[in-house]
Structure 1
């Protein structure tokens, strides 16, 4: 009996989370409404709150799934590539493509903030660390003399630089790039960050 209840609970949580992901995909953070998500998932509002304490917890769960999807895409991008510079370039291209194809999910990942004093769940932190590890590994191979502190700093710098270029360009700001110039400048940026 306990096993059946657990399976039902997990199914409810999965369906609610799927409905929340669809809501963010369709309309961004503004589309996240517990009542509408409950209706879309086929449950009562009370059922949603049994699994997610509030909208922030639900959004963190959506963002954690987004991190996992980016991680899967990055893993696939470098699976057959041995050259560390080519890995960094593949990771940057993959990040750009994910952002282009999943604009609302990608934006939600960086726009949503938990209320002051509320800790970020460990699973979400682990998802962020896993993404940075994709960058750290080729950087370490490009320069084995990096201390752990230097590698951590360079990894964050590389991510921040690529993320900034992608964000500004996708927002179509005055200084943003598009099309082929975006792609070629992204590769230029990776070359410079890798010390080429």
Structure 2
């Protein structure tokens, strides 16, 4: 493949991915249909399949982009903050804000599943690892005695608790909380999860 051909191929892949991102932002995961994405990107259906095996592969690529955007937001949120609990609070608020502002992308990230037997792209796996590292860093500062195995478990526990609170809030069901109470209770949760004695046991 010549340099020009490679550049053209990369441009096609980028435009198709952007079209899929736009489709999910506006209509949710169900809006990703290869024929419609091809038309929106300005390419043939065959051109889409040259870069993405199927609809699931295209959605997985969008999920990787979403993970990257969350990572960027979190990195900016903790920049200049030294206190580990304040870092965790900033991460929690940022995560909630991203979920609210990009609800369909966020929802797709956690609801889309690849067909049985197909592994997630390495970029997706690495993106998940990078996000959890934002939480693991402050937790390690708070409890230096945690070994890698316990730190991994504690990190996942903290993320699961926060994610659950955010998910319930966004569903706007009877257990959801108004904005001001949501922030207060989210900070309460962070303090309890990462506060004194969190590493014991």
One fold, TM greater than 0.5? yes
In the alignment of these two chains, the number of paired residues is 196
Q: Does the residue aligned with 2:88 lie in a helix, a strand or coil? A: helix
- Equivalent positions of 1:46-85 (< 5 A) are 46-85=46-85
What is residue 143 of structure 2 aligned with on the other side? Answer: 143
Secondary structure of the residue aligned to 1:188 is helix
Which residue does 1:97 correspond to in 2?
97
TM-aligned CA deviation for residue 30 of structure 1:
1.1
Q: Deviations over 1:46-75 (max 9, x none)?
A: 000000010000000000000000000000
Moved over 3 A (4+): none
Query: Structure 2: which 5+ runs fail to align?
Result: 197-201
Partner of 2:15: 15
Q: Distance in 2 between matches of 1:63 and 1:31?
A: 14
> Normalising to structure 1: TM-score of the pair?
0.98
Taking only aligned residues, the RMSD between alpha carbons, in angstroms, comes to 0.8
Q: Distance in 1 between matches of 2:7 and 2:62?
A: 20
* Structure-2-length-normalised TM-score: 0.96
Between the aligned partners of 1:184 and 1:27, the Cα distance in structure 2 is 31
> Structure 1: any 5+ residue segments left out of the alignment?
none
**Residues of 1 paired with 2:120 and 2:30: CA distance?**
21
1:195 deviation in Å?
1.9
Matches within 5 A, 1:120-159: 120-159=120-159
Question: Deviations for 1:121-141, whole angstroms, at most 9, x for unmatched residues?
Answer: 111100000000000000000
The separation in 1 between residues aligned to 2:173 and 2:159, in whole angstroms, is: 20
Match of 2:30 in 1: 30
Paired with 1:17 and 1:52, the residues of 2 have a C-alpha distance of 9
SS at match of 1:39: helix
Deviations 1:131-168 (A, max 9, x none): 00000000000110111111000000000000000001
Matched, 1:176 2:176: yes
